[in-house]
Amino acid sequence: MTATDGRRLDEASALAGTLGLGKLIAFYDDNLISLDGPTSLSFTDDVPKRFESYNWQVIKVADGNDLNALEAAIASAKAETNRPTLIDVRTVIGYGSPKAGSNKAHGEPLGAEAVAATKKFFGFPEDKSFYLPEDAVANWRKAGERGAQAESSWKALFAGYKAAFPELAAEFERAQKGERKAGWEKSIPSFAPGKAQATRNAGGVILNAIAEAVPELIGGAADLTSSTKTIFKPGESFHANPAGRNVFFGVREFGMAAAVNGMAAHGGLVPFGSTFFVFSDYCKPALRIAALMQVQSLFVFTHDSIAVGEDGPTHEPVEQLTGLRAIPGLTDFRPADANETAAHGDWLWSATDPASLHSVGRIASDRSNCARCLCRCQQGRIRVGGCGQPAGDSDRSGCRGLACRRGSEATCRRWDSRSCGQLPKLEGLR
């Protein structure tokens, strides 16, 4: 990982230190320059001391062009397995150019004259563009050879593991492909109509009901598990035992959402994070990144009513719903009762796109008589699980179907009494 000054690095870094993520190595590009000028204009933090307080190992490299010092720092970082490592590298921005060490090298093109001067500094032909020295190309190609050898070694190692532990190997391969266990959806519970309960409570019941069927599910809340109900029971803390599935993110909404994205991008897990809906504002940069990357990042936001009340206007979400629905690529659900929460959960745990679920904190009576209001488009056919109503129709219990149309882009739209959301493009219907 590479990092520069600012940009909310502190939340995720503090969490990594608390969790003792010894495989994490971050390079801090300490070039003393920001876009406006010297960092001293606005930034006087002692970054190494801050990271030491986060339980990180800190290694300083005085010259970013000293390759031997960099290699030694990386070796020391790999040797530390109980803490993440920050390698603080003093560099010169725009090194070799006439604008070196200034903010002019940060936010604007060098220009033809400065480019020519930079080429001369490095001994490159001044009349050639995109010039690649032969020795540099040869060195880079050695990296490809090393990578091929590492891949071959890994495949041989896994083949031996697969022969010794075929069932565990099959589970690993399934999870890495992003596939769920066959029949996992049968573990999703249904709820008797007429029983009043907060949908966040129903969400907690659903989470624990599918826990065994979806072992790759992992996550938690930003210091709100007792309120959002996103906790496995029984279940160990990931901090205490790496096999645990409960991650206590602390009051770090952005760090939580960023960590969820990282786990989703890595693959093999179905990660989620949760907090109050109004605090989705803190998560916003990571939500946008999830939508841009199109990874299976799942976010559960509870207490979505403007009438939550007891915590006052600072906790009453007003504009957040409109804001999240405006993010391209983010699928947004707002279930109105427990069975709708179960239906949306079916899509959430099986989809491959980022999504947010507003599991409301208010109490609602279940209107649906169907076993599960599962509304989806599959290979051009409409299927409404449990109630069996045609698309677009509604049974007397209030279960809504799914309207599907063909066109240049096939879309599915789910309607309920409180909201309308749009599912992502369906590749099979294009």
**pLDDT computed for residue 395 by the predictor:** 31
Last residue of a domain, which of 339, 366, 393?
366
Overall domain count for the chain: 3
Would 154 be classed as within a structural domain?
Answer: no
SS (H, E, C) the chain: CEECCCCCHHHHHHHHHHHCCCCCEEEEEECCEECCEEHHHCCCCCHHHHHHHCCCEEEEECCCCCHHHHHHHHHHHHHCCCCCEEEEEECCCCCCCCCCCCCHHHHCCCCHHHHHHHHHHHCCCCCCCCCCCHHHHHHHHHHHHHHHHHHHHHHHHHHHHHHHCHHHHHHHHHHHCCCCCCCHHHHCCCCCCCCEEEHHHHHHHHHHHCCCCCCCEEEEECCCHHHHCCCCCCCCECCCCCCCCEEECCCCHHHHHHHHHHHHHHCCCEEEEEEEHHHHHHHHHHHHHHHHHCCCCEEEEECCCCCCCCCCHHHCCCCHHHHHHCCCCCEEECCCCHHHHHHHHHHHHHCCCCEEEEECCCEEECCCCCCCCEEEEECCEEEEECCCCCCCCECCCCCECEEEECCCCCEEEEECCCCEEECCCCHHHC
With b meaning 16 or more CB within 10 Å and e meaning fewer, what string describes 290-328?
bbeeebbbbbbbbbbeeebeeeeeeebbeebbeebbebe
Tell me, what CATH number does 261's domain have? 3.40.50.970
Q: Are residues 310 and 417 in the same domain?
A: no
Last residue of a domain, which of 338, 366, 394?
366
Q: Are residues 211 and 80 in the same domain?
A: no
Q: Are residues 304 and 346 in the same domain?
A: yes
Q: What's the CA gap between 80 and 254, in Å, rounded?
A: 27
Q: Are residues 406 and 348 in the same domain?
A: no
Q: Are residues 112 and 222 in the same domain?
A: no
Would 65 be classed as within a structural domain?
Answer: yes
pLDDT confidence tier of residue 77, bands split at 50, 70 and 90:
very high
Would 76 be classed as within a structural domain?
Answer: yes
Q: What's the CA gap between 140 and 386, in Å, rounded?
A: 58
Would 334 be classed as within a structural domain?
Answer: yes
Tens of pLDDT, residues 318-354: 999 999 999 999 988 888 888 888 888 777 777 777 7
Q: Are residues 345 and 410 in the same domain?
A: no
Q: Are residues 381 and 353 in the same domain?
A: no
Q: Which two tokens stand for residue 116?
A: 């020519």
Q: Are residues 333 and 386 in the same domain?
A: no
Identify the sign of the CA torsion 119, 125, 130, 132.
negative
Last residue of a domain, which of 317, 341, 366?
366
Q: What is the pTM of this model?
A: 0.84
**pLDDT computed for residue 111 by the predictor:** 94
pLDDT above 70: percentage of residues in the chain:
81
Per the structure, the complete domain to which residue 308 belongs is given by 184-366
Q: Which two tokens stand for residue 83?
A: 């803490």
**pLDDT computed for residue 373 by the predictor:** 33
**pLDDT computed for residue 7 by the predictor:** 55
Q: Are residues 404 and 348 in the same domain?
A: no
What residues are labeled active site?
A: 253
Q: Are residues 354 and 235 in the same domain?
A: yes
Tens of pLDDT, residues 154-189: 999 999 999 999 999 999 999 999 999 999 999 999
The mean pLDDT value for 136-161 works out to: 96
**pLDDT computed for residue 67 by the predictor:** 96
**pLDDT computed for residue 204 by the predictor:** 94
Q: How many Å separate Cα 132 from the centre of its chain?
A: 37
**pLDDT computed for residue 346 by the predictor:** 75
Least confident window among 21-25, 239-243, 387-391, 400-404? 400-404
**pLDDT computed for residue 354 by the predictor:** 77
Contact assessment for residue 47 and residue 33, using Cβ atoms and an 8 Å cutoff: no
Would 166 be classed as within a structural domain?
Answer: no
Q: Are residues 63 and 121 in the same domain?
A: yes
What residue has token string 């949760």? 274
Would 393 be classed as within a structural domain?
Answer: yes
- The backbone torsions φ and ψ at residue 176, rounded to the nearest 5 degrees and listed phi first, read -65, -30
Instruction: Say which residue, 308 or 81, is predicted with more confidence.
Output: 81
The mean pLDDT value for 228-254 works out to: 94
Tens of pLDDT, residues 2-14: 776 655 678 999 9
pLDDT above 90: percentage of residues in the chain:
67
Listed residue (143, 121, 124) closest to 134, CA to CA: 124
Least confident window among 54-68, 69-83, 199-213, 308-322? 308-322
pLDDT confidence tier of residue 406, bands split at 50, 70 and 90:
very low
